Structure 1
Amino acid sequence: MNRFIPRRWQRWINRRIPRSDVQLLTQKNLFILPTSAGVVFAMLLLLMLITGINYQNSLIYLVTFLLGAVFIGAMYQTHRTLAGLELTLVEAGEGFAGDDVLFHLRATAGKQDAVAVMLSADDTGVGIGHVPAGQSREVRLPVTSQSRGYLQPDRIRIETRFPFGLLKAWSWMRPVTAGIVFPRPVAAPETPGVAKERDQTTAATRSSDGNDHAQLRPWREGDLSQRVLWKRYARSGQMVVADWEADKGSPHWLDFDRFAGAKYELRLSHLCWLVVERGKSGARFGLSLPGQAIEPDAGPAHTVRCLRALATWGQQKPRDAVGLRHGTRQDPDAKASASIATGGGL
């Protein structure tokens, strides 16, 4: 019974406020209740009314009804402050696991000013302040992340307690667009044996047909079929790919299988650290993940592309019907074991 009521409440809210990156606040999706100060104020009014009835004191009646009118006026004004306000998700943020990911939002007031507006998600919040009628105010809301993957806040709360703090009006926004959380960088251990073995394999797979300028490597899952040397495969049964031109230099491949014996999430954290370091130095590098390979390149755009690949590897974008609080990962080692069965295990 204790779980049944919250589940029914959640389903009712989800039906009333569907997922959208644009939320217009109207009477259908606005809620209002007294604050703790408002409850105390209402109890005092009730006590004053009982006292006035008991003593038949006109002055107590006057003060009671006057303060009651103020309470009712505050209720109208509090609701009116948020009515017509439109909240738009401009851009979902990106960041590393454990950090606050910033979501860029825009609040546009309707015919009335929006005063003392607050935005919050989970335990973090930020104030928008005063939004004049017909104007917009942009704000960046920090959302706490716990693990890599897609970060889709289940609800972003918008609230005001204007004018007297006796009542609070609020609603929610349930964004569709999810942010991306990169793995937490963990310094990678030195593995010279693996690098030496890779160099020996590359040297052994160089073309013996006079193609001295092509550096060849064994085929990886995700490589384009056009780059496979099919004649060599038909002759020797060895599937290799023309990886790079020797006169352009040999890029350093960051390989998922480099850290044999480590758990999958730790491997991704090591690779994330290496990607960040290569990005800082401006060196060319490629990223090899089971089922996915990013060709060697350099620059900030390439670094971000590799970080996104590490963040979303083995993940699926959140569905509208399922709101997960901190991304979509549940048991990555269990899920990844099936997808890596053909790409290398522990």
Structure 2
Amino acid sequence: MLAAWRRRFEAWVTRYQRPSLGPIRLDRRRIYILPTPQGYAFGLLLLLLFVWSINYSNSMGFAFTFLLAAVALNTMWQAHDTLLGLVIHGNGADPVFAGQDAGFRFLLENTRGAPRHGIALQWRDGEPLFIDIPPHGSMAAVLPIPAERRGWLRPGRIRVLTRFPLGLFQSWSWVEFDVATLVYPRPRGARALPVPLPGAPGSGAQELAVGSDDYAGFRPYAPGDSPRRIAWKAAGRTEQLLVKRFVDQARPELWLDWQLLGIENIEPRLEQLCQWVLKAENEGYEYGLRLPSIRILPARGEPQRRRCLEALALFADRKDISGTDDGLESRKPAKAAKTQRAAG
């Protein structure tokens, strides 16, 4: 119940805050401070000392009580001042698979001439990540956030806190950035790779063989093709990148097809296709991907792997997928795409 009440209070306090595209500077209006459990115990101790001093009219007791109270008030001021003026930059994270932790990157900048100690970043009820920032310096922090489902993952509100110097008070603030990362399906399944089929003309599986005379025309450029295979003169005439095609060394095509899987549920199919993509890439195949209304031409390499995994991650999100026949048929949301470019 306490955690639920805290989340409701957090949502009420930050109801007017919107995700930021740029850095956030913590001012007095954004910073909150309350005693920690140790601080409440310390306050109870001061009360007992004060009552004892009154009861026995002990001057040393009064002096000791007021000295401890002054120390507590000074720590409250320092805890608040540790966060005041701190500048936080939010970056994205590298894509991960479902079930892993996405490491979102943050940069904490100290613009004053004194160090800041014991500053932490915390996501929900996770473990705080503590760092120290030198004077006029900055420190990078990577906050792990669980990626439970495929698709776009946004961290939401991040708590910035400190209990410096004595842990009697906790000063905190909430920040939220317009950043996101892509979560691929979990690679899981027991099925072997499909049997490769002979390459068809125009499919993109033909290789340019040095010294070959069996020239078979051009085909549109597919990401991942070698620059040596591009017909630059023909591309200059047509304003479209074309690739020379030779049929004497056509390699078999490996198609990872949605229809080959007789699994009823969507997620197990995507998990099996994800495992196939990783396995085909590791074994050096030229592979393509067929999904309902999505077709990615055969190729190999890191760009092809990324295109296929992105299509699987965004599958069934009609706002993010369009059906074309050449290249990747998935589009990122405008804000998330802008965030990816900024993070890169």
Match of 2:210 in 1: none
Percent identity for Structure 1 against Structure 2: 34
Match of 2:53 in 1: 52
Retained in 2: the 8 A contact 1:94–1:102? no
Letter in 2 for 1:180: L
Match of 1:275 in 2: 277
Match of 2:92 in 1: 91
Instruction: Give the SS at the match of 2:30.
Output: coil
Q: Which one is further off, 177-186 or 87-96?
A: 87-96
Match of 1:102 in 2: 103
- 1:58-95 per-residue CA deviation (whole Å, 9 max, x = no partner) reads 21111111111100000000111111111212222321
Instruction: Give the SS at the match of 1:92.
Output: coil
Q: CA deviation at 1:4?
A: 10
CA distance in 2, matches of 1:265, 1:19: 30
CA distance in 2, matches of 1:59, 1:91: 57
Retained in 2: the 8 A contact 1:124–1:142? no
CA distance in 2, matches of 1:152, 1:36: 31
Gaps of 5+ in 2: 202-214, 218-244, 321-331, 336-344
Q: 1:64 to 1:273 in 2, by over 3 A?
A: same
2:307 to 305, 308, 311: 305
Letter in 2 for 1:55: Y
Q: Which one is further off, 287-296 or 158-167?
A: 287-296
Gaps of 5+ in 1: 204-211, 215-243, 321-346
Instruction: Give the SS at the match of 2:117.
Output: strand
Instruction: Confirm whether residue 13 of structure 1 aligns to residue 13 of structure 2.
Output: yes
- 1:165-193 per-residue CA deviation (whole Å, 9 max, x = no partner) reads 1111111222211111111111342486x
CA distance in 1, matches of 2:67, 2:3: 43
Retained in 2: the 8 A contact 1:83–1:110? no
Match of 2:172 in 1: 170
- 1:96-143 per-residue CA deviation (whole Å, 9 max, x = no partner) reads 111111111111113142211122224544534210122111121111
Match of 1:141 in 2: 143
Retained in 2: the 8 A contact 1:150–1:179? yes
Letter in 2 for 1:49: F
- CA RMSD in angstroms comes to 3.4
Retained in 2: the 8 A contact 1:152–1:318? no
How many equivalent pairs are there?
283
Letter in 2 for 1:293: R
Letter in 1 for 2:300: A
Matches within 5 A, 1:163-312: 163-190=165-192, 246=247, 247-312=249-314
CA distance in 2, matches of 1:40, 1:7: 25
Retained in 1: the 8 A contact 2:193–2:276? no
Retained in 1: the 8 A contact 2:118–2:132? yes
Match of 1:238 in 2: none
- 1:223-253 per-residue CA deviation (whole Å, 9 max, x = no partner) reads xxxxxxxxxxxxxxxxxxxxx9755424212
Letter in 1 for 2:259: D
CA distance in 1, matches of 2:333, 2:50: 54
Match of 1:159 in 2: 161
CA distance in 2, matches of 1:161, 1:173: 18
CA distance in 1, matches of 2:2, 2:73: 34
Q: 1:318 to 1:162 in 2, by over 3 A?
A: farther
Q: Which one is further off, 154-163 or 266-275?
A: 154-163
Match of 2:81 in 1: 80
CA distance in 1, matches of 2:286, 2:58: 87
CA distance in 2, matches of 1:311, 1:117: 35
CA distance in 2, matches of 1:56, 1:319: 71
Retained in 2: the 8 A contact 1:19–1:176? yes
Retained in 2: the 8 A contact 1:128–1:137? no
Letter in 2 for 1:72: L
CA distance in 2, matches of 1:4, 1:304: 39
CA distance in 1, matches of 2:193, 2:311: 23
CA distance in 1, matches of 2:31, 2:164: 15
Retained in 2: the 8 A contact 1:25–1:86? yes
Q: 1:55 to 1:191 in 2, by over 3 A?
A: closer
Match of 2:225 in 1: none
- 1:257-283 per-residue CA deviation (whole Å, 9 max, x = no partner) reads 220233111110011001111222232
CA distance in 2, matches of 1:12, 1:73: 30
CA distance in 2, matches of 1:15, 1:307: 35
CA distance in 2, matches of 1:3, 1:136: 32
Retained in 2: the 8 A contact 1:254–1:271? yes
Retained in 1: the 8 A contact 2:193–2:280? no
CA distance in 2, matches of 1:303, 1:115: 43
CA distance in 2, matches of 1:306, 1:166: 52
- 1:269-328 per-residue CA deviation (whole Å, 9 max, x = no partner) reads 0110011112222321111222222222211122122112211222367999xxxxxxxx
